[in-house]
Amino acid sequence: MDLAAIAADLDDDDALAALDELRTHTLVQPIAPARQFRFRHPIVRRAAYQAAGAGWRLGAHARAAEALAAWGASSAVLAHHIEPSARPGDLNAVELLTRAGQEVASQDPATSAGWFQAALRLIPETARTSDHRRELLLAAADSLRAAGRLEESRDCLRAALELAAPDRMSRVAVVVACAGLDYLLRRHTEALAILHETLDQIADPGSAEACQLRLAIGGILTWSDDPTAPRTWARNALAGGVHADDPALTVAALGLLSLGEWRMGSTGAAFEAIDTARGMLVDLDDDRLSPRVDALTWLAFAEALSERVDDAIEHCDRALQIAQTTGQGHLLTAVLTALGYSLQWKGDVPGAISRYDDAIEVAHLTAVKETYVWAAGLRCYAATVAGDFAAAVRYGQRALETIDSSAHLTTTTAGLFLAEAQLEAGDPHGCVDLVLATGGGPQLPRAELPDRPYWYEVLTRAELARGRVDAAGRWAERSAQSANNLGLPGRAGWASRARAGVCLAMGEAAAAVKLAQESAALLGLAGNPVEQARTRIVVGRALAAAGETALAVVELTDAEADLSRFGAYGYQKQAGRELRRLGQRERRRRPAGGGRATSNGRRIAADGRTAAQVAALTDRELDVARLIRSGKSNREIAAALFLSEKTIEHHLTRIFAKLGVSSRAAAASILTRALTP
């Protein structure tokens, strides 16, 4: 009330009289503590504010700012009144708005960006203010990027490039950041143009600046249709990284190189680059790595795709921590996608689905189509494994509709996952047609070279499903050929499974048993228990065909139990059907979650009903639950997890339902008892 009276320029008696009139019309209501009131509804407050004259509002804000400053209010509180009332050229106001933006940058980047932009509007555009304006533009760009407003962030960076940089490295850093946003906004031509133009202006090809630019070019071309590009640019960048004695830059180049070598099928060289990068990461703290989260992301992708998923999970977790702490939310989709893939490989299908859903949410918030396609394609894959074929088809189709380019690698991958979903849903004809159309023909030139063994195995199963054993045999042979020399047991395991299926269809049960057992062993060696258990279904079928019914029942029963435990209910049902054919009763599906540790190490400590309730929470719901227990608001939880408030509300509804409560306090009480620190 006192601040309102000052803003309205009323003495105490007049203010009290005005308050009585407002109360008479029930427009305001008291709140604790004393002498505090609020409007009945935000709409009423907005109407009252807009009804006041523009000149009166300017004076009211100025008076409020003066009073708050005298009372020692923070810059963030003062900024609400300084922004609308300050005059152009008021450098004190500029300084205060800048401090306000800095104060709230990590918690509320959108508001932070607004303060920085307000400060910019007050600074006169002269040569003397060039450095100051550049600093504010870069600060606004960072906050806008953290808020998911990539287009506006990119505009600020472009404006900063029009102003003189203090040194060449500073300018290169802005160019790289600008190109990175252009890439995310699917302006690949513009991104590459500014990078090449800047690189051409650097005389020393071995400088750190040249290395940064080459690495940025390679990063943009990482998933391009030219699989040689990332390897070429990473090799060129490495010389600059070593010359500049910049370990974070060198690790980034090694991460990109490992991914490039993997794309070319040179897994030995990929392993060497991965091992070197991993060794260097041990000595790099998070502060040194924070400008190079891409180093961890590229490395994690290379590790996951090279079947080294434990290392990938470690680096994904570290990348997530750094990105969330430093406000680099635009990078989260890629990291979450790599993490989801790694968790799925290890047998945590529900955990993978949770991470893919988070990745999709972040992609929506940042409007980044390309990373959305990756996440939606893998979500399609996970839904297929989980037996939710309708969801799998829905996610796959959405991914294909997002980017208008049938030859784009992200679209290719999504199309291939959709094809397998069609196969599992009972459409082998559609599967074959889509694999060949999306993959670019029988050679699958658009598919990643190390992934071709799997897609040829999918084609093998599809041809067997439509009774074309000869065609299936040809695809199985291609699967084996494409797996040769990769040095990846998982890929070799898929090829052996393809051949086992063909042998079984041809009545060669003994050969099928041997190949299927070999496949299961290889997939176990690769650390992929879902695919291993899936292959044991083939082992069981082959044993049954060979007359070894008792052994077949053991294999199928174990496979069914494992697949249920992993959340791979689509394949669990297949094992159950085979058991029924042998006269066995199908297992009941186990509920997901159980009492296991979550993917990030959280454990449930309570017993009985409470433990069961908390065990039903997904990993993401547990993330939200811990923040509820800490007393965070929905807005604070959304900012901490880089999700929308609407998504947090959805999670809260599910958490309350699973815990059987209707309030945050009750939920916090249960969670305090049930969760370990």
pLDDT reported for residue 240: 64
User: How far, in Å, CA of 329 to CA of 65, rounded?
Assistant: 33
Is there a contact between 347 and 592 (Cβ–Cβ < 8 Å)?
A: no
Which of the four pLDDT bands, split at 50, 70 and 90, describes residue 394? very high
Take residue 54 and report the two structure tokens written for it.
């523009």
Number of other CB atoms surrounding residue 1 within 10 Å: 16
Is there a contact between 365 and 387 (Cβ–Cβ < 8 Å)?
A: no
29: part of which helix (H) or strand (E)? strand 28-31
pLDDT at position 650 over 80: no
The answer as to CATH 1.10.3720.10 being correct for domain 165-327 is: no
pLDDT tens digits for range 328-375: 888 899 999 999 999 999 999 999 999 999 999 999 888 888 889 999
Which of the four pLDDT bands, split at 50, 70 and 90, describes residue 511? very high
pLDDT at position 610 over 80: no
User: How confident is the model over 440-452, as a mean pLDDT?
Assistant: 95
- pLDDT > 90 fraction of the chain, expressed in percent and rounded: 60
pLDDT reported for residue 102: 94
Residue count of the chain: 677
* 392 compared with 596, residue with greater pLDDT: 392
Take residue 579 and report the two structure tokens written for it.
């058991």
Count H helices and E strands in the chain, helices first: 36, 2
Average pLDDT of the chain, as a whole number: 88
| CATH code of the region 608-674 | 1.10.10.10
pLDDT at position 586 over 70: no
User: How far, in Å, CA of 552 to CA of 559, rounded?
Assistant: 10
User: How far, in Å, CA of 253 to CA of 267, rounded?
Assistant: 17
Q: Which residues pair with 38 in a beta bridge?
A: 29
Q: Shortest CA distance to 381 belongs to which of 393, 364, 363, 372? A: 393
**Chain centroid offset of residue 566 CA:** 22
pLDDT at position 588 over 60: no
pLDDT at position 379 over 90: yes
Q: Is the dihedral of CA 205, 209, 210, 215 positive or negative?
A: positive
The answer as to CATH 1.25.40.10 being correct for domain 448-592 is: yes
pLDDT at position 13 over 80: no
**Same CATH fold, 608-674 and 448-592?**
no
User: How far, in Å, CA of 145 to CA of 161, rounded?
Assistant: 17
Number of other CB atoms surrounding residue 578 within 10 Å: 22
Which of the four pLDDT bands, split at 50, 70 and 90, describes residue 660? confident
* Full-model pTM: 0.79
Can you give the residue ranges of every domain in the chain? 165-327, 448-592, 608-674
CA distances from residue 276 to 247, 280, 553 in whole angstroms, order as listed? 11, 6, 46
pLDDT reported for residue 241: 59
pLDDT reported for residue 489: 97
pLDDT tens digits for range 523-549: 999 999 999 999 999 999 999 999 999
* 131 compared with 661, residue with greater pLDDT: 131
